[in-house]
């Protein structure tokens, strides 16, 4: 994004960090952090804020490289390109302790698809092993032993890879402990080798701005009633955040260049069955390949969504290459990888 040139490879695949905080003190709120403090944090990541939208439950930021979401106790940062997301974890934890009084990390989730060109990333992000090592040291050693932050004695990070490690796969790092007990769910569709005609919508040659691209592509119809904040980059690339009451969001990011086309869709909207939503997203973007993850804890209405995903003929026009179901902590996780057969 950020106006990437069609002559240069751009890594659309995002790094996704979600941190839940808790405290023994009275009602701290991450939204009390001033925007200039978030801007300082994002400079470490190598991105900047483009716009902000809010409702009663959440602040959402469109960034030069993807998005950031802030609620009372949860922080989500999603960045693409060559950003250095994990370098911001320690400053983040120090910031929210100083500014808001949060004394504990309740839960951590870091995930990403396998990069197309990992050698172009900062050294900390060139391999999942390096990322895991960094997070382990950060949470288990540095904060606990240095006394900077409260980390339980029993803390142990847990790292997973789903899918084929010699092909496309998906990585996850989280805490090996029961953390979030309120209903929580996230669905992601990560899509690549996109339809060229569809991708043209997300260029300045076809649309003048974000709202026009949102309408022309049909993104506005995926989840009706969403409060949308969208942006079309020059000469190409697109980002949007959408807010719904209750702390729910959707976010979409498009890298349209033919040689590195990529689209991500993510939402925490609770649904017992995500099939209709998945079909809307696929019909909008028409990828040749995609992977889907559904993450839901035992308190969520989406906790049994994996049962619908067991049918390998689930998505007309696609063949399911991989399918895995995991139960850990208090979450269920389903991973499925689909490809469109070559005719």
Q: What angle do CA 329, 330, 334 make, to 5 degrees?
A: 90
Residue 306 has pLDDT above 70, yes or no: yes
Helix, coil or strand: residue 195: coil
Across 138-158, average pLDDT: 60
> Sign of the C-alpha dihedral, residues 96, 293, 14, 130?
positive
pLDDT at 144: 53
14 in active site: yes
Q: How far apart are CA 335 and CA 340, in angstroms?
A: 17
Residue 109 makes CB contacts below 8 A (sequence gap 6+) with 16, 17, 18, 19, 172, 173, 174, 295
pLDDT band at 6 (very low <50, low <70, confident <90, very high): very low
266 is catalytic: no
Domain boundaries, the chain: 15-339
Q: What is the model's pLDDT at position 138?
A: 87
253 is catalytic: yes
- Which candidate, 107, 85, 87, places its Cα nearest to that of 158? 107
pLDDT tens digits, 268-290 = 999 999 999 999 999 999 999 99
Among 125, 171, 253, 306, the one annotated catalytic: 253
Helix (H, G, I), strand (E, B) or coil at 57: coil
Q: Greater confidence, 2 or 140?
A: 140
Please give the share of the chain, as a percent, with pLDDT higher than 70. 92
The catalytically annotated residue of 64, 66, 73, 336 is 66
146-159 mean pLDDT: 61
pLDDT, mean of residues 304-331: 86
CA 67 from centre of chain = 8
Average pLDDT over every residue of 92-120: 93
pLDDT at 1 over 80: no
pTM above 0.85, yes or no: yes
- pLDDT recorded at residue 152: 53
Q: Is 323 a catalytic residue?
A: no
Annotated catalytic residue within 73, 239, 300, 336? 239
Residue 25 pLDDT class (50, 70, 90 cuts): confident
Residue 183 — pLDDT band, cuts 50, 70, 90?
Answer: very high
Question: Is 188 among the catalytic positions?
Answer: no
pLDDT digits (tens, 9 = 90+) for 223-270: 999 999 999 999 999 999 999 999 999 999 999 999 999 999 999 999
Whole-number mean pLDDT of the chain?
Answer: 91
Give the torsion sign (CA, 302, 306, 307, 311). Answer: positive
CA 87 to chain centre: 17
User: Can you name the CATH fold of 15-339?
Assistant: 3.60.90
Rounded distance between C-alpha atoms, residue 322 and residue 107, angstroms: 28
Helices (H), the chain: 35-45, 89-100, 128-136, 143-146, 196-199, 210-217, 275-285
Q: What does the pLDDT read at residue 155?
A: 58
DSSP letter string, 132-181? HHHHHIIIIIIHHHHTSSB--TT--EEEEEEE-TTSSEEEEEEESS----
Instruction: Name the catalytic one among 14, 188, 257, 266.
Output: 14
Cβ pair 4, 255 in contact under 8 A: yes
CA distances from 204 to 101, 155, 235, 254, 326 (A): 44, 48, 5, 13, 42
Catalytically annotated residue among 80, 207, 236, 260: 80
**Is pLDDT above 90 for 343?**
no
Rounded CA gap, 152 and 140, in Å?
Answer: 8
Q: Which residue has the tokens 């949102």?
A: 214
The question of whether 66 is a catalytic residue gets the answer yes
**Active site residue: 11, 18, 188, 266, which one?**
11
User: Where residue 103 falls among pLDDT bands split at 50, 70, 90?
Assistant: confident
Check residue 5 and give its pLDDT. 47
Q: Helix (H) and strand (E) counts for the chain?
A: 7, 16
pLDDT surpasses 90 at 198: yes
């Amino acid at each position: 994004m950020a106006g990437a040139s069609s002559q240069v490879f751009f890594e659309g695949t995002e790094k996704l960090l979600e941190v839940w905080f808790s405290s023994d003190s009275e009602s701290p709120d991450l939204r009390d952090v001033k925007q200039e403090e978030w801007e300082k944090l994002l400079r470490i990541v190598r991105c900047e804020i483009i716009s902000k939208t809010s409702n009663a439950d959440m602040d959402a930021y469109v960034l030069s490289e993807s998005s950031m979401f802030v609620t009372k106790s949860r922080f989500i940062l999603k960045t693409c390109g060559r950003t250095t997301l994990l370098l911001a974890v320690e400053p983040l934890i120090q910031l929210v302790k100083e500014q808001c009084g949060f004394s504990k990390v309740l839960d951590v989730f870091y995930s990403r698809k396998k990069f197309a060109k990992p050698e172009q990333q900062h050294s900390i992000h060139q391999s999942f092993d390096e990322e895991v090592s960094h997070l382990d040291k950060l949470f288990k050693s540095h904060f606990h032993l240095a006394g900077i932050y409260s980390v339980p004695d029993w803390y142990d990070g847990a790292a997973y890879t789903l899918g084929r490690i010699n092909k496309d796969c998906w990585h996850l790092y989280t805490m090996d402990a029961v953390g979030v007990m309120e209903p929580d769910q996230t669905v992601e569709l990560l899509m690549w080798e996109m339809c060229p005609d569809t991708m043209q919508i997300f260029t300045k040659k076809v649309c003048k701005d974000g709202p026009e691209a949102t309408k022309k592509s049909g993104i506005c119809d995926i989840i009706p009633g969403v409060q949308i904040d969208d942006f079309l980059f020059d000469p190409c690339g697109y980002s949007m955040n959408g807010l719904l009451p209750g702390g729910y969001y959707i976010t979409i990011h498009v890298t349209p260049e033919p040689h590195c086309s990529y689209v991500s869709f993510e939402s925490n909207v609770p649904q017992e069955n995500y099939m209709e939503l998945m079909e809307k997203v696929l019909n909008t973007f028409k990828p040749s390949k995609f992977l889907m993850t559904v993450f839901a804890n035992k308190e969520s209405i989406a906790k049994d969504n994996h049962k619908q995903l067991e049918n390998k003929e689930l998505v007309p026009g696609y063949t399911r290459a991989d399918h895995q179901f995991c139960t850990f902590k208090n979450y269920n996780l389903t991973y499925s990888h689909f490809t469109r057969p070559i005719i």
